[in-house]
Each structure stands twice: as structure tokens, then as C-alpha cells.
Structure 1
């Protein structure tokens, strides 16, 4: 966990392969979280890399970072070069006249080089990119067709499509030869034509509705979970895993209720139920768990909001992507208290404010509705803890 303070916040955004498997994370950095004078971005990255192990942010996966000019001037990054993708913006590239020697030098150090496709100097006739380089293409602003044709046929260059927010953009970028994809589309419904939810997913929603019913009794939840063999097995496996490190074995749902309490038990059962749904990308459940835990911790430490409600709002925040249906349709089928419903549908209310703040942090925005009410470092600590918890829980129920 982070012990060294630095002037900023680092979050992550998934980058997907063609099969929607997870390829890497892009790290989003915002500065000024501590309220001190804002330091240069390169200093912030250098401080962060000495304060946070890369594994805490991305696990074993590579990390893409936008390389600021002052980083190129010599700021040291403690993270392993072979796990970093350096993304060079047009502004940074324009400040360096000797790219033909600079880019191979970064590659020789171990970095993977990524060039912004909007850079006007991206000319195959005058700039030879190192083998294994990436070119990032924005779905909202494509480079000239001649550039696309050239790099589409280069087996040693990978095209990464970013800012994919609509289904037609996704299809277009696949046709252009992109192999990597990033954008908000992948946590939203992509293909529904009506509001009818398939039977298998509808059954999961029914289970979630019963689990989250405020009036449910202990004996009823015991029966509900015990009747579902897969849910019962995975729940007991999770509760007996190293994550909880209990000295006594929990060998029945009845004992689980005694040891963990009703609210915690039905929340963990909800996680397992969500993980059982067939959806792509699978990263959606990780995103949901990270949001849930972050929201819970922020509510417990710094915000006068019900932490249990914040947890459920975060956990259910990707349900529309999982179920491929509008969030309003899904919420109608769940027995949720009003403040959770409001948070999920339009981000309003106290719970919605917490969820909206977490979404802002994910996009690299330090300034949000809660920022003035949080102590320095609280957000980063909560976020890193949430990533760790999500990884351990999903590993235990895999």
C-alpha cells in the first residue's frame, strides 16, 4: 500500500485485444490531489513510481503512460521499462527534432514506443518507427488515409483504437486493421435492439433482486443460496480462502451468516452471481468490484454517505454492459433502495455523487464533487486497496 505522498492520483483504463481479452492498462494521471502547488507531470510520475509498485496498479500486465516532455528530459521512472508503453503526444513529438535516434533509444532501454496518430509529422517516408511500436488512433479524428493504408499492412506495428464510445466506431476501427481497443463503449450495452433481457441473464437479475431485497430474512437467504449449488460452492470457497484467513472452516451457509453477517454475505453472493453471467469483456466485473470497494472506503473515511449503499452502487455500475440492456430497465427489476437507484440511473443523490467522483478519477480528473472534502492521499489509498481486493476475490472464485 502507498506510504509516500505524491501530488496526484493515478487510475487505470483497460486496453482490450480483438477477442476483448485484457491486453494492458493505460494509466491516467491527474495532479493536485494533495492541494499543494501542482508539480510537473514528469515529477508526479517519478514520485508515483517510487511510491507505488506497478503490480499494485496493473498486476502482471503492461502499463501505458503518456510521456510528458519533462520525463524525456531525464526524470527517472522506477517502474520496469520492459513493462511500460510510452505514449508520445503530438506536443511532445513536436519538441524533439531528432526522433529517428530518440525513439530507438527508448526502445533499446526496454520501453515500447507508442505514437499518437494525430501527429502531423507521422510520415512513413521520413520516420522509421522501431519494431513493435504502437500507433494510437482516435475513433473521432483519424489521420490521412495514406497513413492508415501504410501502417495497416505493417506486421511490426500495432494499431490501438482509442475513444471508442459507439458501436459503429468499434466496427470501423476493426475494419481499419486495429488490433487493440479502448473506450467507454466496452462497459455499455453494445447490441441490444429492445429491452428484453435473455432468460439466463434475467434469472441472475432475479437472484440479485432477492439478495438485495431490504426485507429478506436470514433463513430465506440461507435457502436461496443453498438451492443454487454453484453459488453455494463458490461462496463457501471464497469465505474459506486466504482472503478472509479465518481460523475456523465455514462449512455451511448457516455458519457463514453467523460469522459474516447478513449484509456481507449477500454482497459476496451478489459478486459471485455477477461473475457467473456470460458477458464480454470479463474486465467488467473487475471494474465493478474496484468501484464498489473504492466507494465503500471513501464513504467510510471521508463522506457522510451510507457505505453499504455506495458499495452496491459501485458493484452494479456495469450491469448494463453485463446484461446488454439499458440501466433503467435493469434497475426496475431490482429491489434497490431509492438512493442506489438514483445513483445508477443518473448519478444523482449522495450515493450518486460518490459514484460520479470515482468515474471522474478513472478518467484522470482530480477535480470532482468530493475532492474538497477528502484528505490528501485518501483517494489513492482507497483505489489501490480496491484493486487488491478485486484481484484476490476474483482469484478465489475463479
Structure 2
């Protein structure tokens, strides 16, 4: 394994106005700059495979590869070279603290001539940036740092340039709507991970059935008959489950024709995961990216627990707890109300509610990696998390390819 392939990375989605994911920003630790440079300038096939692992998704049951936004250190601009990766794969981000001089402008012009798109990261206007703005394709404004008054001033001033505006650090849906109204075309931030709670919102009947199912499947000894009855209460759920278990991806040797047969052949652990997938994918009010994020984190926690042979947290508990941690965002319902709707152990409830206990610590570490919060990851487990994260991304793509989108 090469040094470059071991760099610890995470991805953050970039959305258009319809909340379709159009790219991912790849986040990495500052002390990994040398390794990132090797990825960018290394062997084309190796670089492409690694980048593909972080930027591939399944959309409408079809594989799709999205561009990667990547911050380049100053040294990359000073080198008289171009990235080994295609300009279709990479959007070059110029950091806000990079000095604007002839060396930088010549390098950016060289990248532009080669077809690469240029994004200015965490941009704060100053007249010295005008030559760089003339070359930029995308300007990223940190709305949290600037404040909305300064954001409006920047938007007004930047209209003279041809670059598209990207609003980053969006924390709420209200901020998202305001940025759309201001004319931003691209959006980035943690707003998707927070519920847009609607007063009086109640779980729909099929949502309630799914939560009861999740609860029953996570009992110490689930009741097969009750699980079967709950699934069969919802004909659409029965259809989707049978379609998934009969898919080519699961490679069953003979068709499964009943819910009970699916439980017997797959086992409760597998059925638990598929029910979780169906529950999330059915939330049409939310972008599919939220499903991807939650499932990636749940699978990551499960894999880490298995790899470190944890005696304090079970693999199934890790999956469920991490899934529930942001399920409120998928259902647009208050977390506390959600926890009252599902019969799970107090240990899992406490972990989801306030991050307490071994499971709570695992959930926090899992989402620290997913959010690029490197300081909250244990140094002695970085390789386990890095490897598990890549495996989780692959697993989510494989499983989402089985989901019915009608």
C-alpha cells in the first residue's frame, strides 16, 4: 500500500438548488498535504482508483462519478506540473491564505488552460484578488464567518465576475433558502443533518410500522412471527423487501417468495439492515444524499466495532445507534419524540440522546470522521477508521443499487 493511498480523507457533498449532489469536497488533515500531493501528481491509474472510491455514488440505480473539490497546498502551484487526473474529475480549490502573486496567477492560468475548474475557498474580497477572480469558475463564501450582511455585500460586488457562487457552512434550511434567493448556485454545509421540524408533525402509518420493526429486530430475541406480521402490514414494504432479497446483488440460488422465507434464509441481522435501508430511502421529502450519509456512518460504526473486537458495543448496536443518531433529520421529527416511538434499550437511547457510554463515544468518533473533524479521532485507530470508511462507502453503493426508486 502506498503512502498516498493511506491518507485519511472524508467527503462533504456540494448541492445544486434542487439539492442534487453535483460534487464532493474531499477533506483531509493538514499534516497529510504531502500525501495528497502524491495522490494528485502520482500514477494516473492509482490516483483515479483512489479518487473514485470517494466520489462514486449510486443514483437512480445507476453508478455515477462526481467531480472532487480539493484544496491544493501552495507547493502544488509552485511546481511546474499538472495533476495526473483528468480535468473532469477535479476542481482545484485555492485556499484563502494563499498569497496572490505572479507565481500563483501563472499556475492558475496553466490549470485553466488545461481545462481544470478553479474555486476560491473561504473567499473574502479585497482588490488584490481581482486578477484571480477573473480566472475563477466558482467563488465559495463562508456565510457563517461573514454573516448575512457581509454575504449580501459580497454577492452584490461579485456580480461583475462570471464565476458561480457557492455558499458554504450553511447550518439551517432557512439560511439555505436565503442563499438561493440571493442567487447562489451551489451549496455546502450541515443543514441536511438537522431536522426541519414541523409543529404537529406525526409519524405516518408506514413510518410507525418501520420504527416498530427496527425496534423488534433489535430485541435480544426478536419474535419471527411478529416481525413477519409487521412487514406484511405494509404491502409496499413487503414488495420492496422481496425485490431486494431477490436482486442479483444478493445472488440467491432460488427465488424467495415470502417474508418468512426471507427471514429464515437471510437471518435477522441482514433483514435488520435492509429494513433500515428501506426506512431511509422511503423519505422522499429528503435528498438521497442524507440516506447515503446516515448509512455510511452506521456501516462504518459496525465495521469499526468488528475490527477492534469491541466487548462493550455489539456490531448490531453500533449500526442501530449510529443510524438513529441522525434519523431525526430524515424524518423531520424531534429526536426525543423519535426515541419515545421505538422500543430500544435505555443504553442505546442515552447514547443517541447525549452521546453517553461506550456506544455514544463510538457514535461521536464515527461522525467525527464523516464530518472531517480529525481532532476527535483516536490516533491509534486512524487506520481502522480509514479502511472502514472506504469499505462503508462501497457497501452503501452496493446496497443502494438494490433499492427500488419508484
Indicate yes or no: 2:175 matched with 1:140. no
What is the TM-score with the length of structure 1 in the denominator?
0.86
What corresponds to 2:86 in structure 1?
A: 80
Whether contact under 8 Å (2:21, 2:289) holds in the other structure is yes
2:288 and 2:243 map into 1 onto residues whose CA distance is: 21
C-alpha deviations, 1:365-386, integer Å up to 9, x for none?
33435432x2x63222211111
Task: Write out aligned runs for 1:37-116 (5 A).
Answer: 40=34, 42-43=36-37, 45-46=39-40, 50=46, 52-59=49-56, 60-74=65-79, 77-92=83-98, 94=99, 96-116=101-121
C-alpha deviations, 1:152-179, integer Å up to 9, x for none?
465x421110011134432332232111
What corresponds to 2:182 in structure 1?
A: 176
Whether contact under 8 Å (2:125, 2:154) holds in the other structure is no
> Which secondary structure does the structure 2 equivalent of 1:224 belong to?
helix
Whether contact under 8 Å (2:91, 2:118) holds in the other structure is yes
Which is helix-richer, 1 or 2?
A: 2
* Cα distance, 1:173–1:219 mapped onto 2, change above 3 Å: same
Match of 1:267 among 273, 281, 297: 273
What corresponds to 2:62 in structure 1?
A: none
Whether contact under 8 Å (2:143, 2:151) holds in the other structure is no
| Larger displacement relative to structure 2 (298-307 or 272-281) | 272-281
What corresponds to 1:337 in structure 2?
A: 345
**Distance apart, 1:206 and its partner CA:** 4.3
C-alpha deviations, 1:200-241, integer Å up to 9, x for none?
645544454444455530122122223322212221222222
Return 5+ residue gaps in structure 2 as ranges. 57-64
2:205 and 2:67 map into 1 onto residues whose CA distance is: 37
C-alpha deviations, 1:320-341, integer Å up to 9, x for none?
1111122122111111222322
Match of 2:354 among 343, 346, 352: 346
Indicate yes or no: 2:379 matched with 1:371. yes
2:180 and 2:297 map into 1 onto residues whose CA distance is: 29
Whether contact under 8 Å (1:339, 1:350) holds in the other structure is no
**Distance apart, 1:347 and its partner CA:** 1.8
1:280 and 1:144 map into 2 onto residues whose CA distance is: 27
Indicate yes or no: 2:50 matched with 1:22. no
| Larger displacement relative to structure 2 (271-280 or 16-25) | 271-280
Indicate yes or no: 2:195 matched with 1:189. yes
Whether contact under 8 Å (1:275, 1:285) holds in the other structure is yes
Return 5+ residue gaps in structure 1 as ranges. 33-37
Indicate yes or no: 2:258 matched with 1:252. yes
Match of 2:317 among 309, 321, 326: 309
**Distance apart, 1:8 and its partner CA:** 2.8
**Distance apart, 1:96 and its partner CA:** 3.5
What corresponds to 1:149 in structure 2?
A: 156
What corresponds to 2:293 in structure 1?
A: 287
1:319 and 1:122 map into 2 onto residues whose CA distance is: 45
* Cα distance, 1:332–1:287 mapped onto 2, change above 3 Å: same
Whether contact under 8 Å (1:212, 1:334) holds in the other structure is no
Runs of 4+ that moved beyond 6 A: none
Indicate yes or no: 2:227 matched with 1:221. yes
Whether contact under 8 Å (1:353, 1:370) holds in the other structure is no
* Cα distance, 1:340–1:162 mapped onto 2, change above 3 Å: same
C-alpha deviations, 1:63-112, integer Å up to 9, x for none?
111111122233764432222111111222x1543554432321222321
* Cα distance, 1:5–1:341 mapped onto 2, change above 3 Å: farther
| Larger displacement relative to structure 2 (207-216 or 234-243) | 207-216
**Distance apart, 1:319 and its partner CA:** 1.1
> Which secondary structure does the structure 1 equivalent of 2:391 belong to?
helix
Task: Give the root-mean-square deviation of aligned CA atoms.
Answer: 2.8
1:16 and 1:378 map into 2 onto residues whose CA distance is: 30
Whether contact under 8 Å (1:25, 1:61) holds in the other structure is yes
Whether contact under 8 Å (2:216, 2:223) holds in the other structure is no
Whether contact under 8 Å (2:217, 2:227) holds in the other structure is yes
Indicate yes or no: 2:323 matched with 1:326. no
Paired residue total: 386
**Distance apart, 1:56 and its partner CA:** 1.2
* Cα distance, 1:96–1:242 mapped onto 2, change above 3 Å: farther
